Copies of this chain bind each other. A is one copy, B any other.
Amino acid sequence: MDFDKFFIPSSNIRLDAQLKFTAEIDKMTSVYRKTLLIDRSRAENDAEHSWHIAVMALLFEEYAVEKVDLRHAMEMLIVHDLVEIYAGDTFAYDPEGNKTKAAREEESARKLFSILPEEQGRLIRALWEEFDSRSTPDARYADCLDKLQPFFHNIMTEGYTWRNAIAGKRTSRQQVEKRMSVLKEFMPEVHKWVEHAMDIAVQKGWLLEQ
């Protein structure tokens, strides 16, 4: 849907650019993920996911092994999935989709961030790139939450995403372990719970043992 025809311009071109970007990013509400909402009513969308992990950033700092600036992590978390507006959500356990992910997201970033005044586009891009690089403690903290939240949703929905992964094939414990390894290093106390929850997931048949 082209939102421009409903837009009422101001007399300030910067403000118009910022408002147009505000309209465009509302499309995050129709980027659906594989993850189910905890009430199981439907799939979660990217706006909901981004909000949920931003609140988590306020709560889980104490488990990080390095000092983090939680507010900076929160800034990254609220923008880290914006590139999915044109690139779509790439399912974590989809090897084909992951081959083309970087190129699709780079093109999406260029298109989306160019709506903004130049220095603001650069600022949002820098937050996305920092998140994507996992190169700072804040980015690693953000990455942990971005992994923990869908893991937790899976636990709370009896392994919904794992059971229905690709073409009806269940996900293996090994695949999930690999994905959650960032928590092993950066939030070991939380990772103990992740290990325990995976044990139960295997017992219950939500995850394949191998």
Chain A positions near chain B (C-beta within 8 angstroms): 1, 3, 6-8, 10-12, 14-15, 18-19, 21-23, 25-30, 37-39, 41, 44-45, 47-48, 50-52, 54-56, 58-60, 62-63, 71-72, 74-75, 78-79, 82, 116, 120, 123-124, 149, 152-153, 155-158, 189-190, 192-193, 196-197, 200
Contact = CB atoms under 8 A, between A and B. Distances in A.
A1 B37 CA distance: 12
Contacts of A15: 63, 189-190, 193
Given A15-B190, A71-B75, A6 B156 contact: yes
Contact of A52 (B37, B47, B74): B47
A51 B28 CA distance: 10
Contacts of A75: 58, 71, 74
Copies of this chain, how many? 2
Contact of A48 (B48, B72, B82, B123): B48
Contacts of A29: 37, 39, 44, 48
A21 B59 contact: yes
11 contacts: A6-B155, A11-B193, A12-B189, A12-B193, A26-B39, A29-B39, A30-B39, A48-B48, A51-B78, A55-B82, A78-B78
Given A10-B196, A23-B38, A58-B78, 13 more contacts: A3-B156, A7-B155, A8-B196, A8-B197, A10-B192, A12-B189, A18-B59, A29-B44, A30-B37, A51-B51, A58-B123, A59-B120, A74-B78
Nearest to A198: B8
